[in-house]
Structures are given as C-alpha cells and as structure tokens.
C-alpha cells in the first residue's frame, strides 16, 4: 500500500472520493492540566458541529490524563515532529498543522504553557504551532489551573498578553477542583467550549479547500 501523509487520516485516503467535502478545520491543543481528562468528551462535542474536522496536538504531560484509544481523530505529539522530518525537503509538522487549521483551540491551557505562550517560548510541537500561528485565524484558549496559581498576579498579565495577540479567552470557572480546593481556575465546561467554537464557525465562511 502506498504510504499516506501523516497529515491525511488513513480513512480519508481510502474513501476514493474525487470531490473533497468542504470542512472547517479545528486543531485542538491539550496541555498538562487534569482537565485534559475531558479531552475525549470535548472531541465528541466538537465533532457534532456540522462541517467540522478535528485534529489534536498534545504535550507530553497531557498524555498522563487521557487514553489515546478514546480519541477518534488524528493525534500528534513531539515524537511525530521528529519522525516526520528527515531532511531539507521533508515537511515540518508544526508548519503543516498551522497551515491545515482554520481555528485553534487550546483546552485546557495549563499555567506552564500559558507562561510559554505569553513570552514566545516554543519548545514542543504545540508551542511551535502557536508561535507560527496565522493571527488572521481565530485562536481560543481555556485556562485551567489551581486557584492559587490563577490568583498569582503574573497569571492575569499573561492572559492579557495572549488577548493582546488577538487570542480569545474562554474564561475558567469557580468549582471544586480535583485537589480538593474550591475556587476559580477550573476549565470552562465542555459544552461552553464547544458552543464558543460553534459560534466562531458560524461567523466565518467555510474555507475553500487548498
């Protein structure tokens, strides 16, 4: 069998359809917050939005919180970046992904990755995608961290910096956290996140296939 591009899901490559259906491409970034437990549910809700195609970029720490077998869409991590690139003519995964996506959603966005994004650090696949992100396209982020971390003064500065880049915040909420504390810092509910994406999709025309 002919090899297929890691950016083209195998199922799509085998359909034999000569006229590709227009899709709104959503790239989900998931980081090392316990809220990553909700990734399977989030993907399920996003796939209910008509015309949406989803792929996921994960950090290594986020892998601790979900079972990849429960993710029904292409899932990329740091290892894929280095396996794909062997020489000068090979595609660079973080660039290919930013080209592919019409919208990026980072959910959850943990405190560590928030700090990286605010200062431009790009030391893994996810942060490289975001550093190279086309600012004409929407990027939504969902902070998630312990209340004490959320209330640290630098957190507000970093959130404001992301908003200054043009990124859209889906605010965290007050609830009892996994650690037992109660307060603000929990990721927004999955239905809230999915509805935010749905609104953005509705506001934008479906892109022409490249």
Cα-to-chain-centroid distance, residue 127: 10
Q: Give the three-class secondary structure for 70.
A: helix
- Dihedral of CA 179/183/188/189: which sign? positive
CA angle 171, 116, 129 (to 5 degrees): 90
Neighbouring C-alpha atoms within 13 Å toward the C-beta of 171: 6
**Cα–Cα distance for residue pair 208/22, rounded to 1 Å:** 7
Q: Are 78 and 61 in contact (CB under 8 A)?
A: no
Please state, in angstroms and as integers, the Cα–Cα distance from residue 79 to each residue in 41, 104, 111, 134, following that order: 25, 20, 23, 24
Helix (H) or strand (E) holding 55: strand 52-58
Active site residue 128: no
Active site (catalytic) residues? 179
């Amino acid at each position: 069998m002919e090899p297929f591009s890691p950016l083209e899901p195998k199922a799509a490559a085998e359909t034999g359809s000569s006229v590709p259906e227009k899709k709104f491409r959503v790239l989900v970034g998931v980081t090392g917050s316990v809220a990553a437990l909700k990734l399977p549910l989030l993907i399920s809700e996003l796939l209910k939005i008509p015309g949406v195609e989803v792929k996921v970029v994960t950090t290594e720490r986020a892998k601790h919180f979900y079972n990849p077998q429960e993710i029904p869409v292409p899932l990329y991590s740091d290892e894929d970046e280095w396996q794909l690139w062997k020489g000068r003519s090979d595609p660079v995964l973080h660039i290919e992904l930013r080209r592919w996506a019409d919208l990026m959603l980072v959910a959850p966005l943990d405190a560590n990755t928030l700090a990286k994004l605010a200062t431009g650090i790009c030391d893994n696949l996810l942060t490289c995608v975001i550093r190279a992100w086309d600012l004409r396209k929407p990027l939504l982020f969902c902070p998630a961290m312990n209340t004490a971390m959320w209330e640290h003064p630098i957190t507000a500065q970093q959130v404001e910096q992301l908003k200054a880049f043009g990124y859209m915040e889906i605010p965290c909420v007050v609830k009892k956290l996994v650690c037992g504390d109660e307060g603000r810092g929990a990721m927004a509910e999955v239905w809230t996140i999915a509805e935010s994406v749905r609104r953005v999709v509705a506001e934008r025309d479906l892109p022409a296939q490249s």
